[in-house]
Amino acid sequence: ARGLSQEASGFKNSVIFLFNTGEEEGQNGAHSFVTQHPWSDTIRLAVDLEALGIGGKSGIFQAGPDSWGTEKFASAAKYPSGNVIAQDLFSSGVIKSATDFQVYNEVSGLSGLDFAYTDNTAVYHTKNDKVELLKPGSLQHLGENMLPFLLQAASSSELPERKTLGEGGKTGDESSIFFDILGIYMVVYRQGLASTLYNSVIILSLLIWGASILMGGYPAAISLGLSCLAAFFMWFFSIFFSLLVAFILPKISPSPVQFVAQPWVVIGLFAAPALVGALTGQHLGYVILERYLSSVYSSRKQLSTAVQDDLAKLEAERWLFKAGAKQTLVVATSVLFGISLLLVLSGTIPPYTEDTARPVNVVHVVEAITREGKQDVSSYISLFSPTPGELTSVVETIDEGFVCGRDKVVDFVTFQVKYGCWADEDSKDGWSVSDIHIPLLHVNSDIEEDERITEISIDTKASIRWSLAINFEEIEDFILKGNSSEELVPLGNKSSTDGWHIIQFSGGGQSPRKFELTLFWARSAVHSAHDVVEMEKTQQQQQPLLKLRTDSDILTPKVERVLEKLPAWCSLFGKSTYPHTLAFLSALPVEQFYPAVMSL
């Protein structure tokens, strides 16, 4: 900001620095700004600075929809960094996350750039995710790129136009393809040029192959097919060998992700087998091609056997390259794999360290299921981790009576724990059934005329952070109001994921605790008594109508003891979808809305 202010005399545009909170609670800060702040209508370009690790190079991982920002950044930045592949992975949903940039783009129709630090992502949202551990030079790299870019953008009279709502996606030739070369230069070209370039390469390749087949006839066509088969073998064996290691490693090592603390181990454990697999597939394809060509040349009786073999080899190498140092590469990569595996199995390279700790969660869970106005309450301590692998070593270190297994399933509304550890001992301490923290779901009315409408009161008690899931297999729409009768979620424009619409709420000290929920049932959800009985006969689990989780940042005695005994290489994991240390789970069963079933 200081650097920009010294050059502001020549600016044609203002630069707004937005420091907002609420990103981890559903991008609340960004959404509030673009929908409520009077300056939001004046903005033409958004630049979002993120961190998915603790330093390294800050690179572009989302851009657009207009390519203006990417092109200007590439020309102005001193050390540009970014790759469109990261953008494709993020937009595909492989990376289950969201940033403020998506709000600026999708809600406000802004073009822009999204930057992120991505080194050592294993510490993300753990105790080691802090400024003190930021890698040296990270902020300098970001500053040397961002300052000249912002100076150029602020002085430009050609900022991209804002898209209208619903038009914010990348369209046609406007989006850009970008990648950097060693962090020194960035290549940027638009989608229109990319399509022309890629199509030209494809057409030229087809022409070359076609000419080779026309000149060589039937044997050339077979050779081309065998060459393609060799390429398939390379991919197949490369992926197969890596997957084989990934499958065997958890069986023989303490953790399936031995490379978290030392990422370079990936080269020995997975890259080496992949290279051996690729060389194996290439060699197999070459042998098949050479034998076929030998059979072709053997029909030419005027040539000696030695000449026939030489011609077959030369022709095979014309279609399929043969590496002369293949045996040396196979031996070297096999040795590298063996050494890496030995280091892992011996414990010389631990999967986690104090600086790169394993994320875990310890939650005191209180489950309360509402049936006919009464609550069935149970409690236990749940220990789980978002990383793969068993928690046996952690449980043995803690020694607090935890039992682990895949049957210790917990539905935390926003996600499900499919493997975890439970401890029932002392789980009654720190709360009581009459505690003010236990939330309530109460059915006020259930009227069925032209359509079925149910009104439900929700009391989150002391909690100001909660998540509610509504069964959209049964419900078509809903209205959510606060205790002041203000509509927090209006009627219409609802979506669902896997049959559930999820609401996440996080407020301040004065935020409401009581809410009114009006449900509009889907006509297809009207089950007969016979339908529900048949479900019970076939042992189909009936999903609840509502699922509610309320969070409290309270340490019960049992949780406090567990946290004190956690190994140094473990760290609590925090995210907007994850519960606090005390979580209350409530559910409203669907069955109670079909009283005819109860009498059968």
Going 166 to 169 to 173 to 175, the CA torsion angle's sign is: positive
Burial 377-392 (b: 16+ CB within 10 A, else e): bebbbbbbbebebbbe
Torsion of CA 478, 483, 484, 486, to 10 degrees: -20
Residue ranges with strand state E in 294-450: 358-371, 374-384, 403-405, 410-411, 416-417, 420-423, 440-448
Q: Note the pLDDT tens digit of each residue in 89-108.
A: 887 777 777 788 888 888 88
Q: What is the pLDDT of residues 8-45, one digit of tens each?
A: 777 888 888 988 876 666 677 888 888 888 898 889 99
Tokens of 599: 């009498």
Q: pLDDT: is 90 or 596 the higher one? A: 90
Rounded to whole angstroms, how far apart are CA atoms 468 and 586?
10
* Cβ pair 60, 114 in contact under 8 A: yes
Residue 538 pLDDT greater than 50, yes or no: no
Look over the chain and give the mean of its residue pLDDT values, rounded to a whole number. Answer: 83
Q: What is the pTM of this model?
A: 0.77
CB atoms within 10 A of CB 564: 8
Run of H or E residues at 504: strand 500-506
In SS3 terms, 515-528 reads as EEEEEEECHHHCCC
- Residue type present at position 95: I
Question: What 8-state DSSP symbol labels residue 378?
Answer: E
Ranking 142-146, 317-321, 326-330, 554-558 by mean pLDDT, the lowest is 317-321
**Residue 401 exposed, middle or buried by CB count within 10 Å (0-12, 13-18, 19+):** middle
**H helix runs in 253-348, sequence order:** 265-266, 272-297, 305-319, 326-345
Closest CA to 114 of 63, 72, 77: 63
pLDDT score at 135: 80
For the sheet with 514-521, list strands across it.
440-448, 452-459, 514-521, 475-481, 487-489
Among the residue ranges 80-84, 273-277, 333-337, 537-541, the one predicted with the least confidence is 537-541
Asked if residue 428 lies in contact with residue 364, where contact means CB atoms within 8 angstroms, the answer is no
